[in-house]
Every structure is written in C-alpha cells, then in structure tokens.
A and B are shown apart, each in its own frame.
Chain A
Amino acid sequence: MFGWLNKKKSASVAKDRLTIAIMSDRESNAEFPFMAELKAEIIEVVKKYVGVKTIEITKEVEDDMEALSIDIQLESN
C-alpha cells in the first residue's frame, strides 16, 4: 500500500546512473587517449592495400586477459 514511499526518486536514480557512466567514460578516455590517432593511422596503412569502409577498435577484457580487437570493414567492389 505504501509502496510509492519506498520508490526511489528519479533524481537519485539520475545521480547513481551518472556517477557510474562518467566513471567509465573517464576510465576509457584515460586508458586510450590515443584511440582516434590509432584509428586514423591504421586506416592509412590498410588503405595502401585495400579499400577501407569503417574501422572499429574495442577493448576486450576477460579475467586478467586484455585485448584490442580491431574490426576492419572493407569496401565491397
């Protein structure tokens, strides 16, 4: 009956969500500030040989293994 009293106010939900989102934004930017340049340089290199459509670089973490996964989409002929 008084369930609405226990319902979390949306402002505090916003604060929790923002705190987490911003923490992860800051981490990823601090770890790879060079991401944009890396991307541009890889495109340059690959473009010498084949046409590149897009390139996606993601960091993958599994247990204590970290990997950069680079996904290059080629232009179709």
Chain B
Amino acid sequence: MGIVIAVISGKGGVGKTTATANVGLGIALNGKKCIVVDFDIGQRNLDMILGLENRVVYDLVQVMDGDAKIKQALIKSKVSENLHFLAASQTKDKSVLTSEKVKALIDELKEEYEYVLLDAPAGIESGFEHTIEFADTAIVVVNPEVSSIRDADRAIGILDAKSQKVKDGEEVDKFLVVNRINAEMVQSGEMLRSDDILDILNIKLLGKVPEDKGVIDASNQGKPVVLDSKSMAGQAYTRISGRICGQDIGMKDIESGDSGVFKKLAGMFR
C-alpha cells in the first residue's frame, strides 16, 4: 500500500508545482515507484515542468468520470521508468471534483505505487479540500516571505479540519519545504530564517531550497532541476527526496552563504 502525499502551499507562485515534479522524480530516481498527479484542474502546469506536455491524451477528470482508464491516461517519464504522471484537465474547472471520485482514484493508485504525490491547487477552496482529503501526509511549500507563510498556515488549518485521517482521529504529518532562500539576505537580516518559519507554523522541516537560476532554466527545457547535479536547488531536491525515501540525510546549512568574504563580514557584525 502506497503513501499519499499532498503538496500544498496556500498562496500560488511559491514553486509548489516545481517542488512536486522534482520530489516525484527524485523519489523515482531512488528506485521507488512513484506517480505524480496534477490536481490543479483548469491550470495544468505539472506536464510542462516534467516536459511531458506533448504526451497528454487523457486527463484526470476523464479518468474520474470513467471516460478513460488509468492505464490509458498515465504518462511515463522520459528519464525514469519509476515515474508516472497523471495530467490535470485544462478545460474543466475545480468544481468537477467530488470526494467519492477522488477517493476511488487514490485508492486505485495506492495499490500500484509506493508514493502517490498530489499537486494541490493554490488557495483553499473546494479543489484544495478534495486534494488533501485522502492524503496521509503533506508537504507544505513556502517562500521566506510574509504572505506565503500566512497563507500556508491557513492551508494547514484546513488540512487539519477536513482531512479524512483527522476525522478518523489520527494526525496528518506536515513537512515544510522552504523554497527560494537567499543566503545573503538571510545573513543581513532581511529574510526570515527557516527556523523562524518553523516556529511560526509549528511543523517539521523537510528541506531548504536556495534561490537558483537553474530552476527556470530547467523549466524552460522541461527537465526537472533535480537532474542537474551541479545546481544548488537540484541538490536540495535530491536531499529532500532521499529523506522522504527514509535516508538519513543531514540538513545542509544553505542559509549561511558560501562566499568566504561574505562569511567573514557577517561574522564581524555578529
């Protein structure tokens, strides 16, 4: 039986879809069978990040409505045979989701895959609620910035109120990914530290991802940045995926900055 992980953010534009693609591929590269599902109905994007936009024939809504079988709709990744992908519908809107349909789909996917990753829509309306309803655990993606963190707290609140696991008296574990960290700004006190964000949101840390030009370059090409072992963000996603797969990987301090001169300067003023 696989584990269902919802990737949520509250606010849009923080890199949630990028995180889903990279964590999904990272898990697959660890040799685990993984499927990533785009639940952002009406705003299909995960296909672009994965570089699979030309292969989409059937989408999630068609599968849930019984117009296509899962086997017909799932798309195999070009880089890892362990990674499959289910696309969001581009024409429908989020209101087509219902609890029964979502549950049936997730139950079927759990049978086949070790990890089922759900890319939740931004915001906290019904589409979001259906995505998190049957999740075992959640990855919360934030940027070190006030609106992102506040909205993430709202999303966590809804998760804690609406998830089936919570209704059954269990807890949904929530893990934080802090995305787009700028070490220099953290050092000069102009950007929140991951520790501060953890204090505020009161959840566990899964990983820190630095701001990295490589992410946009990767999305331009449809090759998730986790494939680029030279990129800082790619390395961060490799560590995060390893942790999810149960490896003991220490938290790398990417907030201190690596420029020697800068470190010395920062030390002087401490």
Chain A residues proximal to chain B, CB less than 8 Å: 9-12, 14-15, 17-19, 21-22, 25-26, 29, 33
Contact = CB atoms under 8 A, between A and B. Distances in A.
A15, A17, A19, A25 — most chain B CB neighbours (10 Å) = A15
A75 B200 CA distance: 43
A18 B190 contact: no
A10 B193 CA distance: 12
Given A25-B153, A25-B154, A29-B157, A12 B200 contact: no
Interface string B158-188: 0001000000000000000000000000101
Contacts of A22: 149-150, 153, 200-201
Interface of B: 145-146, 149-150, 153-154, 157, 161, 186, 188-193, 196, 199-201
Contact of A25 (B145, B150, B161, B196): B150
A11 B190 contact: yes
B153 A10 contact: no
Given A17-B146, A18-B146, A33-B161, A11 B153 contact: no
B266 to A, nearest CB: 12
Contacts of A12: 189
Contact of B200 (A10, A19, A33): A19
A9 B190 contact: yes
A11 B193 CA distance: 8
A26 B157 contact: yes
B154 A11 contact: no
A10 B196 CA distance: 13
A12 B191 CA distance: 8
A26 B196 contact: no
Given A22-B150, A25-B157, 17 more contacts: A9-B189, A9-B190, A11-B190, A11-B192, A14-B145, A14-B192, A15-B192, A15-B196, A15-B199, A18-B146, A18-B200, A19-B200, A21-B146, A22-B149, A22-B153, A22-B201, A26-B157
B150 A11 contact: no
Contacts of B189: 9-12
Contacts of B199: 15
Contacts of A26: 153, 157
Nearest to A26: B157
11 contacts: A9-B189, A9-B190, A10-B190, A11-B196, A12-B189, A17-B146, A18-B192, A18-B200, A22-B149, A25-B153, A25-B154
